[in-house]
Amino acid sequence: MNLFDVYPLFPIEIVQGKGCNVYDKDGNEYLDLYGGHAVISVGHAHPTYVKAISEQVAKLGFYSNSVINSLQQQLAEKLGKASGYEDYSLFLVNSGAEANENALKLASFHNGKNKVLSFKQSFHGRTSAAVKVTDIPKYVAPVNDGLDVTFVALNDIETVRAELQKGTYSSVIIEGIQGIGGIQVPTTEFMQQLRQVCTETKTVLILDEIQSGYGRSGKFFAHQYYGIKPDIITVAKGICNGFPMSGMLISPMFTPVYGQLGTTFGGNHLGCAAALAVLDIMGKENLVENAAKVGAFLLEELKKIDGIKEIRGNGLMIGMEFEQPIKEIRTKLLFEQKVFTGVAGTHTIRLLPPLCLSMEQAQDFLNRLKKCL
């Protein structure tokens, strides 16, 4: 059987990782400024993480959600403390798209409405409702086409207000910082007004923190820069440092109803052990603070480099937009300088390293980047 060929692949096989480095099967070392697409939070093969999941799988990897799983409760408590959302509830699923899918459903169950407002250049996943609120029409199959979605330009509060005042919207979904859209940071004023309009019109505000959350922005959640509290927050990627798990943090305004949401694999024992280890490490190693510090250094230094049109971002979620297509620079970075980076469109390179990136590694990256410009 062949693999279904839907991804263009680099001719590199990564077989090992350590901290912010990965190694291919020929033993070449790479600096990982991509984090496997913003997934690696505490670093590759962190010993605490390896120990936690090894011990858990040797004991019990999975059992059904029809019985008590106290690891889920421990995770909810720890995540509540780490994020500042102790009064919210946690529902665990398996992928970013699934978390958003459930968030849109929960909002719609809550207020009985079925329209969603989303933003231009947004990305929220590939499943039915998640892909329909994504502003990339080629990802939407006819079977996904049912949901009624309006896309508004980021920061255009007047259009948002005019739409929401119609009273037909169930929810607004917005990324803390747009990732695939090219690291677009909404303004604080816009986010505060959005919060206010959602409250006034009883529209559920869903913050997709799947890429921008879990410390990546230099705060636990990117929306905490704007001083607002969403009604639902979705998390994935960094939550388990690579083990597939995701979740929703749900405001106390929602009443849980048996049967409305469910999952076979979500919140399984192995995933919870991984997520607990991640929060332990993030706390002990001050990784949110590290992301803020190293990210601020990178942002400042990148702005001094000639040949980059614009630098955007917060913490270790950085976009470098170029006048010219980035293919050549990115290829040089990978094959000559041995640095993994991400992309957004044709002109923006995305930096999404593990949150443990050191100042020395950041400087090393800057040196290697300069050689490619």
Ligand X SMILES: Cc1ncc(COP(=O)(O)O)c(C=O)c1O
Residue nearest to ligand X (CB): 96
Q: What is the DSSP string of 38-57?
A: HT-SS-BT-HHHHHHHHHHH
Handedness of CA 107, 177, 362, 300 (dihedral sign): negative
Dihedral pair phi/psi, residue 141, rounded to 5°:
-85, 160
State in angstroms the smallest separation of the CB of 66 from ligand X.
25
Stretch that binds ligand X, among 58-66, 204-212, 263-271, 331-339 (CB under 6 A): 204-212
Q: x/- string (CB under 6 A) for ligand X, residues 172-191?
A: ---x---xx-----------
Stretch that binds ligand X, among 43-51, 55-63, 96-104, 337-345 (CB under 6 A): 96-104
Q: Residue from 34, 88, 119, 123 that binds ligand X (CB under 6 A)?
A: 123
Name residues whose C-beta falls within 8 Å of residue 1's C-beta, 6 or more positions apart in sequence: none
Q: Does 125 bind ligand X (CB under 6 A)?
A: yes
Kindly determine how many residues on this chain lie close enough to bind ligand X according to the rule CB under 6 A: 14
HSE (side-chain half, CA atoms, 13 Å) at 189: 4
Q: Does 211 bind ligand X (CB under 6 A)?
A: yes
Q: Does 210 bind ligand X (CB under 6 A)?
A: yes
Q: Residue from 116, 173, 236, 275 that binds ligand X (CB under 6 A)?
A: 236
Q: Residue from 44, 124, 132, 223 that binds ligand X (CB under 6 A)?
A: 124
Determine the Cα–Cα distance for residues 128 and 101; give it in Å rounded to an integer. 8
b/e burial code for range 48-70 (CB count within 10 A of at least 16 → b): ebeebbeebeeeeeeeeeeeebe
Q: What angle do CA 30, 286, 93 make, to 5 degrees?
A: 75
Determine the Cα–Cα distance for residues 247 and 233; give it in Å rounded to an integer. 8
**Closer to ligand X by Cβ: residue 35 or 125:** 125
**Closer to ligand X by Cβ: residue 121 or 290:** 121
Applying CB under 6 A, the residues found at the interface with ligand X are: 95-97, 100, 123-125, 175, 179-180, 208, 210-211, 236
